[in-house]
Chain A
């Protein structure tokens, strides 16, 4: 099958939707709760600060990819730091993507079970899901990116539309004052809480850039700023309609806020949202799975792609079955995510970028 890197190329617009879907998947539903309990009504400040910080990281990753066009992390990291450390880094990312995939699969099953399929056994949903995601992963990044372009527009329109309805029906004083000096002491905790919503940028490492991606660093930076604004919209609209105390009390505060919105035709606004919101969760799982398959294919280039897909699917299924019995998997993942994000999204890309730059200068 299409194993060549260049067949996995994407446009900048597709990159926008890949980043958008992968990042928003992690915590759209509970972001308002996390932010309200740490930074209160001043949440927009750490959110936007984080989006600028991660925008910088996105610039570093895209610049690295542009320095080695047609190659992915697995290939160019050997040139930067040598074969063995490069393999270690690739292995590390592989494990991270598998861990994230487990978390997202379980989260998806949780949402499906709570809202649509209360009696279907979780392992059946898991099996069907992994088979579907495996099939999509087999098709490769370019096809997934094309699908994201269509699904992304729908998801964006529905979510922003609902947020607008929430704002029009909410109370302005719930989100005011926009800045309270006493809330700044919660900003450190807020930054920790923002690790998950901004995790996932490292998927860019598995996408080979081409001449089409010349302006990718600028596009990636503005994508992160856009995501920051999107998060601010989610948090503010939820707090406006629920109030700050209710937002903290509900685990899935965004869904609870949507339930209160009155639309002319739709009575069950939550089901309406979830129909589209699930695309985000599906898209996130699909992309993380695809990325894990891409990385695995690099490790075993002689093994056919569909065999890799099947093996990853089986491993994922077994690991998910084990994780399913752990009731605190969500808390454990969230506790671990700041460290994962620090290493995977900030430290490794920055170090690789610095070393690559220094090596290039020496060559000159």
Chain B
């Protein structure tokens, strides 16, 4: 009985102490600077950072909640990344909270010089949110901030939203920063990073920066990237306009199944790309009826399949010739099938010579409720 009392007292003490220690270690959100975006630029031999910080005090004060001061941008510079951090720390009045950063934005000039170093730093820093995205830009960082803040939003959130929406609509792909770092850490590195910029004064993905090794070797413009997206996006979906009998038909094409198989015979590497697509004929640009019978639909399917095959072949050739960079991740596909051979070869030298055959099958259907058949309403 005596002991039970003693242990009860000890238990209560432990519980109280545990709760008290929790209070002691707590940190009020208002006592931290919540970073939402960071942009790095490299100009005149110096690294410039532009840090976007959420202005929480504005949120507390309803009367002063204007868009312009919802975010504060702090900029500074240094010769090295450590100098940049020192400069930043020297100007902070509260500790910095980095887990709120949604997107890392690098200007092309910064990416050319410091991409690898910064991303390794990002990996080593526990404070960063590892799910964040990385994009590249050719624009002036201050213009990017100005554009986003005019829309009353964070630049990082805006960039993330644009890239995620494209991915969800099947027109692009999504890669977290940690996945980029994995590619950068591998023996062979070929990456595509979305490049954002102004399109009709609005922020958009204007293309994809090609990273070979640790350098930016070029830009694949978004309008020319359809074939590449068929290879890279998880659920690629695009609209095509196919002419047939003086009518242009709008057709939605989705990838149903994608198989890329490598072969390695007598020192020659080849890839067989097979794709099964589902196409849905939406509408034409002329008045109905279109009188489309099965033969007509088959012909449209073949035209579409040929177009897709050509686009995908061109995408592979462009990666091999224009950029000499395997951002299509054929290296991973080959490594999985031929791990020993892959370890022995220099993929950077092999990739421009690899062969690729493309075979696309399209299954075309028409939308219900519209008259595309021979005189009969569906």
- A residues with CB within 8 A of B: 116-120, 124-125, 128, 131-132, 135, 138, 171, 173-174, 176-177, 180-182, 242-246, 249-250, 256, 259-260, 262, 306
Contacts and interface: CB of A to CB of B under 8 A. Distances in A.
Nearest to B187: A245
Closest 4 CB pairs of A and B: A243-B182, A245-B185, A180-B339, A176-B336
A250 B128 CA distance: 14
B131 A260 contact: yes
Interface string B169-188: 00000001011011101100
Nearest to A246: B182
A138 B11 CA distance: 13
B339 A177 contact: yes
B79 to A, nearest CB: 26
A249 B185 CA distance: 10
Contact of A259 (B11, B131, B336): B131
A131 B10 contact: yes
B182 A117 contact: no
Contacts of B18: 128
A245 B176 contact: no
Given A119-B25, A246-B185, A182 B339 contact: yes
A244 B179 CA distance: 11
Contact of B186 (A125, A171, A245): A245
B123 A249 contact: yes
Nearest to A178: B336
B268 interface: no
A243 B185 contact: yes
B185 A173 contact: no
A82 B14 CA distance: 44
Interface string B97-136: 0000000000000000000000000010000011100000
Given A173-B332, A243-B179, A249-B123, A116 B130 contact: no
B374 interface: no
B340 interface: yes
A274 to B, nearest CB: 14
Contact of A120 (B10, B21, B181): B21
Nearest to B10: A131
A293 to B, nearest CB: 15
A128 B123 CA distance: 34
20 contacts: A116-B22, A117-B25, A119-B24, A119-B25, A120-B21, A120-B25, A128-B18, A138-B7, A171-B179, A173-B332, A177-B337, A177-B339, A180-B340, A242-B178, A245-B182, A245-B185, A246-B182, A249-B123, A249-B185, A259-B131
Nearest to B179: A243
B162 interface: no
Given A117-B25, A180-B340, A182-B339, 12 more contacts: A120-B25, A124-B17, A173-B333, A176-B336, A177-B336, A180-B339, A181-B340, A182-B343, A242-B178, A243-B183, A245-B182, A246-B181
- Contact residues of A: prevailing secondary structure: helix
Chain A CB within 10 A, most for which of B18, B123, B130 = B130
B3 interface: yes
Contacts of A180: 339-340
A120 B178 contact: no
Chain B CB within 10 A, most for which of A128, A181, A182 = A128
B27 to A, nearest CB: 9
Contacts of B340: 180-182
Contacts of B10: 131, 135
Contacts of B24: 119-120
Nearest to B176: A260
Contacts of B7: 135, 138
Interface string B335-378: 11101100100000000000000000000000000000000000
A243 B10 CA distance: 47
B303 to A, nearest CB: 34
A152 B195 CA distance: 48
Nearest to A112: B21
Given A120-B24, A135-B10, A262 B131 contact: yes
Contacts of A259: 129-131
Contacts of A125: 21
Contacts of A117: 21-22, 25
Contacts of B11: 135
Nearest to A239: B182
Nearest to A119: B25
B21 A132 contact: no
Contacts of B131: 259-260, 262
B296 to A, nearest CB: 40
Nearest to B182: A243
Nearest to B99: A268
A243 B3 CA distance: 54
Contacts of A245: 181-182, 185-186
Contacts of A177: 335-337, 339
Contacts of B21: 117, 120, 124-125
B85 to A, nearest CB: 20
